[in-house]
Structure 1
Amino acid sequence: MNWMKSILLVGALTISFVARAQLFPHGETFTRQDTLRGTITPERAWWDLEHYTLEVKVEPEKQYLSGSNTMTYKVTGKPDRMQIDLQAPMKLTKAVQNGEELPIEHDGSAHFITLNQAQEQGKSYDITFFFSGKPVVAQRPPWDGGLTWQKDSNGLPFIANANQGIGSSVWWPNKDHPSDEPDHGVVLKVEVPENLMDVSNGRLIDTKHNRKANTKTYTWEVKNPINNYGININIGDYVHFSETYQGEKGALDMDYYVLRENLEKAKEQFKDARRMMEAFEHWFGPYPFYEDGYKLVEVPYLGMEHQSSVTYGNAYGNGYLGRDLSGTGWGLKFDFIIIHESGHEWFANNITNKDVADMWVHEGFTAYSENLFLDYFYGKEAASDYVLGTRMAINNDRPVIGTYGVNYEGSGDMYYKGANLLHTIRQLINDDEKWREILRGLNREFYHETVTTKQVEDYISDKAEMNLDPVFDQYLRDIRIPVFSYTIKDGTLAYRWENVIKSFDMPVKVWIDGKEVWLEPTTQWQSKKLDIASPTLIVDRNFYVAKMNVMGE
C-alpha cells in the first residue's frame, strides 16, 4: 500500500465532498456519507465535547427507543453549523437551545443544525436533541452492530446494544467521531419496565419508580471521558454481586450483573475478573477508571469493551466459546471474553484512536494482553506458545492500518498480527522490565486521551531508544512477512532480509549450533565468519518472520 498516497486521496475526498463514490488504493469504494462520518468536518471542528446527559425510554415489546441528549460543548474555533449524527431508521425530531427550536438540515446520517445564538469562543453551551424510533436490530452482534432484543429462559426481555463498528449514532444522536470524547463524562437515565433493570456505564446514583407508567428509571454517572461506542444499555432480570479489589490506586469496586438463573455459575467463572485486574495493573498500570468502578455485565451476545461496563456472553466457560484460538491449550486457561474485553479498558477506553483507521491500537494491544495475562500467571514460555499459536489466524490480506477520514478500519489482522508485532518488539528491546515500563508509560502519557498511531509508534521508539519506524511500516502498512534469507558455505554465513520494504533493517536473534547470536540484516547481503563449517541455524521463534536457506539445505 502506498500509505502517503492513501492519505492524500482521503484529503482530496475530504476537501471536495463530492457525492459520488470514489475508489481507493485497495479497491475500497467510499461515499459522501463515509466522509461525513469519518472526517473532522468544518461543522465538527469548531467545538469540543464536554458532557452528555442521555435520557432514553426503552419499550421492549415495540423495540422502540425515545428520549433526548443534552450536550454541553465548548466553542474552540470559528462557529459554523453543527453536525450531529443519527442513523436511520432513528429520527432526530428536534434540536433546542435556550428554549428555541433550531433549524435542522438532514443529510443521510448527518444532521446539520443552524445555531441562532451567538457562540463566543472559550465559552460553554448546552443544546438538547430529541430522538425516537426503532433502531437497527443487530443480526450478528457484536460484529454487525445495533440493538439486540431477546428474551431469557423465563420469557423476560433481555436487551443490549453493541455498536463499535456501525457507531453509537445507530441508536442515539451524538458527535459520532472517535477523536472527541466528552471531557467530563456522561449521565445516562434509562427508563425500563418495572420488572427489569438497566445496567449502564459508571456508578448507579439513582433509581426512580414511575408508578403510573409501571416503569423504573435508572440513572448512571460516568465521571471520566468516554468513547461514544463504549456507552451502553443492558436490560434484563439482573441480579448483582460484588467485591472490592485493593489495586494500585486503592480500593476498586468490582460489580457483576448476571441473569438470575446464572448467578452461581457467574460467582465461579467471574473469578477471572480479579485475576485479570491483578495481571493488567502489573503490565499496564492502574485501572484507568477507579472513579467509575469496574463492571462485568451478562448480555445476549458474545461481549464488548464498554467502558466501566464490560459486557459478557461467553457461556460461562474458558476459551472463546470453549475453543482455544491459539491451538496450544493455553487459551483454555482463562475466559477469553473476560480477559480480552477487560484489556480494552487500557487500550481502547483509556487510550482511544482518533481515527478508526488506527484501530490496531485498540485490538493489537488487547490481543497481546491475552499473552501477557498468561505470562503473569503461567510464565514466559506459555505466553510465547500462545501468541505464536495465534499466527495461524493471520491472513496478510491487506494492511493493518486502514484508510483515514472515511471511517474505515484496516485488516482483521489488527488483532493477532498486531499482537505478534508487539511480541517481536519485546524481543528487540530484550529487557522485560523496560518493555513493561513502556506499556505502563503509554497509559500514563496518553491517559484518557485520543491518539494517532504515529504518537504510539513514536513513544515506543523513543522509550526503546531505537528507530522502530521500519518495523512498524513493515507490519502495519505492508502485507508481506519478512524473510530471513541466508546461506552458509565454507564456514561463512551470508544473510539479508527479503520480502520487505526498502528501509527494513530489523535486528534478529538466531541460534547457530545452539549458541545465541544477534544479527543486523538489511536488504543487502552481509557476511559473518563462523567457527564451524556447516552449523545449524535457527531463527528465534519469537520473531514474526520466515526463514529461507537460499542453497536449499
Structure 2
Amino acid sequence: MMAGMTARAIARADFTLGDAPPSGYACRMIEKFSKIRLAAGAIAFAAAFVSTTALAQPAQPLAPRTAESDLPLDDARANMELPQVALAFRVDPANRSISGQGRYTVQASEALDAIAFDLDPRFAVTLVRVAGRVLGIGEYANPDGLLRIPLDENLAAGESVEVDIHWRGQPHVALNPPWEGGFVWSTAPGGEPWIATAVQGEGCDLFWPCIDHSSKRIDRLDMSVIVPNGLVAAGNGALVGTTANEDGTTSYHWRARDPSNYGVTLQIGPYDVVERDYESQFGNTIAIRFWHLPGNKAGARRLVAEMETYLDFFESKFGPYPFSDEKVGVAETPHLGMEHQTINAYGNEYRESELGYDWLLNHEFAHEWFANQLTHQSVNHMWLHEGIAQWMQPLYLGWLHEDEGVYDAEMARFRRQIRNRVPLVAPEGTLPDYNDRSAGWGTDIYYKGAWVMHSLRYLVGEEVLFDAMTRLTYGTDDPQPGNIRPVNRTTDDFRVILEEMTGDDLGWFFDAYFYQAELPRLTVLRDGYDLTLKWDSPAEAAFEMPVEIIVDGEVRRIEMENGSAHTYLPRPDAQLSVDPYMRVLKEELPQSGA
C-alpha cells in the first residue's frame, strides 16, 4: 500500500456488484457514484476463494472480432466519447472468473440512436441500464463481440447519457503473454494466486466493455478491484483507498486520467511495495512505487534506483514525466512485460545486464512517453510506440556511459534483426498482424523503427529531432507538469512536424522507409579520380539521403540531390570508406569500380 494511504469509506452509490437487487453489506467504491452494494449471498465468493480446485478454462478460441483491435469505427462507436467510466471487478482466482460492473458516461460527438461497446461474447451480460431504465434481455445483443444497445431517445451532438453494464464469466487465458494476450492465472512462490492481464494485441474487450480503438480514450477512470484477503491489486493512476470487506475480500480503488484502453490492467498478487519519491528537474515530486513478490525487495529497490536515472534521461531529453500527478508504477508479473499506463508490468526476474541496466524495464518505461502519452492513431502506426521506445535503449546507454561507442554497438546489433518483408506502416484499411513471423512486421516495428530514428538523427541533427519529438509527444514545445494531456498521432504527423522545424520537404524519406518494404540501395562506383554515388529506391520520389564518406582520413558529407552525386578523389588509389559510422539504413551492396 502507498505511504500515507489509509483505508477509508467512500460515499454511497446506486449500482451493485453481482446481479441481485442492492441489499446486504457494502463494498466501498467511487466518490461520484458512492457506495457499491453487494446482495447478501448473491455470489458465494468467500467459499470460492478458499477452494483449492480451479475450474478449467475451456479451449475456446477468440471470436474474430474480439481477436482484433482497431477495427474501423464504422458503427455507433465512431460517435461515442467516454468522459467518465467507473469499473468494478470481482476477481475469483479459484474459478478463474471475474464479474464486473461498469458505469459509463457516454457523450455523443454526432447524433446517436444507439450505442455500442466491444466485449468478448464469452461473457454473460447480466444487466444493461440506460438513463435509469433496465433493458429487457431482448433489447440488447452481443452475438459477435459488439454489444449493441438501443437508445429510447436519440442523443444530439454534445448530449450525454449514463449507461450501466454488468457482465461475468471466465476471461480468455493468454496463450503466450504478452504477445498473445489475455488473463494470466499463475501462482506465486508462496502458493498465493498471482494474476495479470496483458491485452495489447487483442484489446480491452478481453475483459471489460470498451471502445477497442487506439483513437478512443477515457477522460477519467475510477476502478475498484475486489480480491481475496492477502492479495493486493496494483492499478492505474493513484490509489484512492482500500477497504476490508466483510466477506474475506479487500477492495482497491484506483483513479486514473486519460488511460489508453489497452493500458487498463489488473495486476494482482501477494505484493509488498518499495516506495521512493523523485524530485523532478521541473520542480515537482513524482512517486515511484514498485509492487514486488515477497523475497524480491532487494531487486525491486535496485530497480527503483535505476528508474530514477530513467527519469533523469527522459525528462532532460524530451520533457516532463507525463503522469507525475499519479505515479511511476511497476508491478512484478508472471509474464515478461507490458506498458500499462503508470503500472508497467515487469517479469524480467531482476536480471542484471552487463551494460548496467534492465533492458525490459527501460523499454516499458519509455512507453510512458511513447505509447501512453503519445498514442498511435491506429495500430498501423505502431512503430511510433515500439520503434521509438526501442531506440531509447541504445540512446540511454550512450547517455549513461557517456560513450557513443556503446550506442553504436547496440545499433549494429539491432541492424541484424531487420526483416524488410512488409512496409513499416500498413496501408490504411488493413490491419497488420504482429504475430505473423513470415511477414516480420512485429519485429520490424522495433528494430527498423529504431533505425529510422537513428537515420533521422543524422539527417536533421539531434537538436532538431529531439525538439520535434517533444512537439510530437506533447503537442507543444514547452510541456509543463500539470498541463499535459495525451495525444494521438500518425506517421504523417511526425513528417509534418519535422518539415515545419527544418523547412525541408521530407516526403522522400518517409515514403522510402515507411511505405515500402525494400530498403534504398546505394551504388558506389569508382573510376580513377571519379566517385559516383547513386541511390535506388522503390519509392516514387528520389531518395536524397546525404552520405558520409572518409577519403584518406578526411570525413566528407555528400549531399545527394535527386538521389545521386559525383565527386573527385585526390588520387585513384585513395582509401575510401562509405557511411563508415553506419548512419543510414540501407541495403548493403558491394562497391564496384577500378
Q: Choose the corresponding residue for 2:534, options 473, 477, 496.
A: 496
1:421 maps to 2:449: no
Q: Choose the corresponding residue for 1:345, options 364, 368, 377.
A: 368
Q: Choose the corresponding residue for 2:546, options 485, 507, 517.
A: 507
> Are residues 466 and 375 of structure 1, via their aligned partners in 2, closer, same or farther at CA, if it must alter by over 3 Å?
farther
Q: 1 CA distance for matches of 2:68 and 2:416?
A: 34
Q: 1 CA distance for matches of 2:188 and 2:64?
A: 40
Task: Work out whether residues 146 and 170 of structure 1, in 8 Å CA contact, stay in contact via their aligned partners in 2.
Answer: yes
Residue type of the alignment partner of 1:402: A
Larger radius of gyration: 2
* 1:205 paired residue number: 240
Write out aligned runs for 1:85-484 (5 A). Answer: 85-102=118-135, 103-183=139-219, 185-211=220-246, 213-222=247-256, 224-247=257-280, 248-319=282-353, 332-379=355-402, 380-405=404-429, 407-409=431-433, 411-412=441-442, 413-430=444-461, 432-445=462-475, 447-484=485-522
Q: 2 CA distance for matches of 1:285 and 1:180?
A: 24
Greater length-normalized contact order (CA 8 Å, ≥ 6 residues apart): 1
Structure 1 runs, 4 residues or longer, greater than 6 Å off: 30-36
Q: 2 CA distance for matches of 1:243 and 1:459?
A: 37
Instruction: State the Cα RMSD in Å.
Output: 2.1
* 2:108 paired residue number: 75
Could you list the runs of 5+ residues in structure 1 that have no partner in the other structure? 1-29, 320-328
Deviations 1:458-491 (A, max 9, x none): 1123223322222122111112122210111120
Higher helix share: 1
Give the alignment's TM-score, normalised by structure 1: 0.88
Deviations 1:190-230 (A, max 9, x none): 0000111100101111111111x1101100011x2111100
Task: Work out whether residues 91 and 133 of structure 1, in 8 Å CA contact, stay in contact via their aligned partners in 2.
Answer: yes
Deviations 1:415-454 (A, max 9, x none): 0100000010000113x33332222222221751112221
> Are residues 242 and 427 of structure 1, via their aligned partners in 2, closer, same or farther at CA, if it must alter by over 3 Å?
same
Q: CA deviation at 1:516?
A: 1.7
Residue type of the alignment partner of 1:377: L
SS for the counterpart of 2:349 is coil
Higher mean Cα deviation, 140-149 or 517-526?
Answer: 517-526
Task: Work out whether residues 283 and 372 of structure 1, in 8 Å CA contact, stay in contact via their aligned partners in 2.
Answer: no
SS for the counterpart of 1:38 is coil
Residue type of the alignment partner of 1:188: M
Q: 1 CA distance for matches of 2:79 and 2:448?
A: 37
Task: Work out whether residues 551 and 569 of structure 2, in 8 Å CA contact, stay in contact via their aligned partners in 1.
Answer: no
Give the alignment's TM-score, normalised by structure 2: 0.82
> Are residues 119 and 502 of structure 1, via their aligned partners in 2, closer, same or farther at CA, if it must alter by over 3 Å?
closer
Q: Could you tell me the percent identity over the aligned residues?
A: 28
Q: 2 CA distance for matches of 1:186 and 1:524?
A: 51
Deviations 1:221-262 (A, max 9, x none): 11x211110001111100012111111251111111101121
Q: 2 CA distance for matches of 1:155 and 1:34?
A: 32
Task: Work out whether residues 197 and 236 of structure 1, in 8 Å CA contact, stay in contact via their aligned partners in 2.
Answer: yes
Q: 1 CA distance for matches of 2:211 and 2:255?
A: 19
> Are residues 524 and 365 of structure 1, via their aligned partners in 2, closer, same or farther at CA, if it must alter by over 3 Å?
closer
Q: CA deviation at 1:33?
A: 7.3
Q: 1 CA distance for matches of 2:66 and 2:179?
A: 21
> Are residues 188 and 525 of structure 1, via their aligned partners in 2, closer, same or farther at CA, if it must alter by over 3 Å?
closer
Task: Work out whether residues 482 and 497 of structure 1, in 8 Å CA contact, stay in contact via their aligned partners in 2.
Answer: yes
Q: 2 CA distance for matches of 1:402 and 1:341?
A: 24
SS for the counterpart of 1:39 is coil
* 2:98 paired residue number: 65
Q: CA deviation at 1:547?
A: 4.6
Number of aligned residue pairs: 509
Q: 2 CA distance for matches of 1:141 and 1:31?
A: 19
Q: 2 CA distance for matches of 1:56 and 1:121?
A: 31
Q: 2 CA distance for matches of 1:36 and 1:200?
A: 22
SS for the counterpart of 1:548 is coil
Residue type of the alignment partner of 1:182: I
* 1:545 paired residue number: 586
Q: 2 CA distance for matches of 1:35 and 1:198?
A: 27
Q: CA deviation at 1:286?
A: 0.4
Q: 2 CA distance for matches of 1:34 and 1:243?
A: 39
